[in-house]
Structure 1
């Protein structure tokens, strides 16, 4: 949010144990050759449990108050639980109302609306990991809900040098579309760098809960909606300008009314409107970018040329610690590197179907199970990730093949 415009990811090593138990019917045996498992750490979590009408947990959130002239927003953000309260059913409800019960004064005169804005500044900051919120957004002209982050040093160096990561913004005149954006020195406000994601068939985000997330690593931020990745940004996207996202950030949730971008409410806008938040979490692991997957001859599962383009071959290669060999496990059963998914080419199920990197689609050709026996299996095909021809040479293409228990189908994480 330009102000002024302003890992549920688990590392594969941890997933090995979890999924092995579900597949094999019991706990996986430890591999004495494997390194210490990656631990999926929940560093921040709020599921908003509590009695109806209660305020948010003050050990996690602080409530901002006042107006916002910078964006020409119309609301006054109130304190306490007046516009931000638990509903008693495991949700935080941020309510925007057309009212002014206390004669609040805004930049344009007597305020016309109230709402709420929460942040974790001084209570929690994150540096890297999987940051997500499951929410149902409001609808209507002039509504502007957002889930975003600001650099922890904003008080010292100011905005936009502090950096801003907008995980989700919606403007009411686009009911089917959300935006993810970064802002920093030389690329802020309307010049922020980002992309939009739209639901198919004219569906509105206000009709159901959706999960909005970023996977954030050194020199890389990847956005997703409901597990589907729609953009990835790195320093290469900045045209030589400064990347300011390798440091701690704090979280923000708010519902603005009006402003330069969404425009003001009009006669079609119904009040009150609500941003309903089911959960917010930040998860990370023992590395920010994931874990290597080692196989035949001690070599690694590798994205050829570290190229994030759709269709890039996935191969065996000497382990080198680059992002092309850092894999994370998505909450939807996917294996991800460089912001995209390990994919069986052409939805193939036959022996010899190659694997590649592709946009995450949620399809069965992108689902994988890690077993206690160190197999990586595509359940739809019931076949194992396999080194073609049992060839340990650099550049050997990976494929799926009937599981044989051979060394070319055995993988160690970490």
Structure 2
């Protein structure tokens, strides 16, 4: 795999694609994956901000109000395809799906970095049409198979035209390379961690299954300072600024969406005699949901079915936050905000003295915007994580007795770190 850039600026025929004149991206690294954590379904969404279910007559092009089609080749990564306009390689199938087709042909006599192009395919993006900051971003897709195939569903920072890549940031929601039919990758790229140095992990299907055999839903759940990847609602990695080794986190701003099917390149390698054409990426839907609107709230139920509680319903700064039998009081009603705060009694859940070590006491404090009060709640894993510390809200010693204090502790997946919001 090359350490060079993964995606080249495309010679687009669309005026709006001038925004992408510096669009670059990098070959995802394939770091060792943490063990997948089985999970429940994500929390109910507040609002759908973008959705395409690709309904329309067979052969129709995609909705131009939602997507633009890029054209050109990709020299920086030595991909082999030419991305075409219109519905030549991206069209609806009349059954509620988008089909991106890679063909071994070149009827338009397109020229690529290596000479006359051998393949055609398609790449779509929402730049200038839709961006999102945070929320759940998902696509249900069936990937192609074969050596040299490289489907991807990903996002780029909308400021790429101003700051360039990798400073814009890149969130790869799903990439698959043909020589790994059972595995997909999710990766972050940014300043100092781009190319093969991207931060990510892979997810492998069990029991010898291949991703080309069936549709799967690929998603990220994205909140301030945290991104979580899942396949079919099984979470397989979570990344926060703590994973970057002091390098800049560039993922708290608007991003746009990209779908493409590449052929060849440094990472997947070129097609060979075993690769049959045409190959297709089928997309059943793309959907973005967000927590805009009223913040989700209610009791946070944890160990032994008991609730996260402000001791004595006392709103004074420094009041301990503890486990206690659920009683429906205001001291047990929490709201989880889009700003990363978790609030009760008009104040914020706070790591005492901005501590980040195991055993740091958790308390109530005036909301002040510091990292001590920035949390990520993931309904899929039921973890409530302090972002700077990258540690979970933990019931001390796993003790279910009323009044047991809470603390920060390294996330272990144990029952004393699981919280269910609502009710």
What TM-score, normalized to structure 1? 0.70
The question of 1:71 aligning with 2:77 is answered yes
The answer as to whether partners of 2:69 and 2:124 remain within 8 angstroms in 1 is: yes
SS at match of 2:259: strand
Which of 34, 40, 47 aligns to 1:41? It is 47
How far did residue 237 of structure 1 move? Answer: 1.0
Report the number of matched residues. 325
Which of 271, 274, 285 aligns to 2:277? It is 271
How far did residue 9 of structure 1 move? Answer: 8.2
How far did residue 337 of structure 1 move? Answer: 3.7
The question of 1:162 aligning with 2:168 is answered yes
Which residue pairs with 2:325 in the alignment? Answer: none
The answer as to whether partners of 2:41 and 2:379 remain within 8 angstroms in 1 is: yes
How far did residue 319 of structure 1 move? Answer: 8.1
The answer as to whether partners of 2:166 and 2:191 remain within 8 angstroms in 1 is: yes
CA 1:293–1:328 in 2, change beyond 3 Å: closer, same or farther?
farther
The answer as to whether partners of 1:137 and 1:276 remain within 8 angstroms in 2 is: yes
SS at match of 2:207: helix
CA 1:286–1:173 in 2, change beyond 3 Å: closer, same or farther?
same
Q: Distance in 2 between matches of 1:288 and 1:78?
A: 43
Q: Distance in 1 between matches of 2:288 and 2:294?
A: 12
Cα distance per residue 1:318-362 (max 9 Å; x no partner): 5888778654545xxx745449xxxxxxxxxxxxxxx98xxxxxx
Which of 134, 140, 147 aligns to 1:134? It is 140
SS at match of 2:108: coil
CA 1:394–1:201 in 2, change beyond 3 Å: closer, same or farther?
same
The question of 1:226 aligning with 2:226 is answered no
Q: Distance in 2 between matches of 1:119 and 1:247?
A: 17
Which residue pairs with 2:326 in the alignment? Answer: none
Q: Distance in 1 between matches of 2:376 and 2:404?
A: 20
The question of 1:394 aligning with 2:398 is answered no
Q: Distance in 1 between matches of 2:214 and 2:257?
A: 23
Which residue pairs with 2:95 in the alignment? Answer: 89
CA 1:72–1:326 in 2, change beyond 3 Å: closer, same or farther?
closer
1:57-206 alignment to 2 at 5 Å?
57-206=63-212
Cα distance per residue 1:275-306 (max 9 Å; x no partner): 00000011011379965635555147899989
Q: Distance in 1 between matches of 2:270 and 2:214?
A: 24
Q: Distance in 2 between matches of 1:52 and 1:320?
A: 58
SS at match of 1:215: strand
Aligned Cα RMSD in Å? 3.7
CA 1:328–1:288 in 2, change beyond 3 Å: closer, same or farther?
farther
Q: Distance in 2 between matches of 1:256 and 1:411?
A: 41
How far did residue 241 of structure 1 move? Answer: 1.0
Which residue pairs with 2:6 in the alignment? Answer: 2
The answer as to whether partners of 1:290 and 1:326 remain within 8 angstroms in 2 is: no
1:338-377 alignment to 2 at 5 Å?
338=385
SS at match of 1:201: coil
SS at match of 1:206: helix
Cα distance per residue 1:363-386 (max 9 Å; x no partner): xxxxxxxxxxxxxxxxxxxxxxxx
The answer as to whether partners of 1:42 and 1:283 remain within 8 angstroms in 2 is: yes
1:12-23 alignment to 2 at 5 Å?
15=44
Q: Distance in 1 between matches of 2:197 and 2:295?
A: 28
Cα distance per residue 1:100-122 (max 9 Å; x no partner): 00100001000000000000000
Q: Distance in 1 between matches of 2:61 and 2:264?
A: 25
SS at match of 1:279: strand
Q: Distance in 1 between matches of 2:289 and 2:141?
A: 18
1:375-386 alignment to 2 at 5 Å?
none
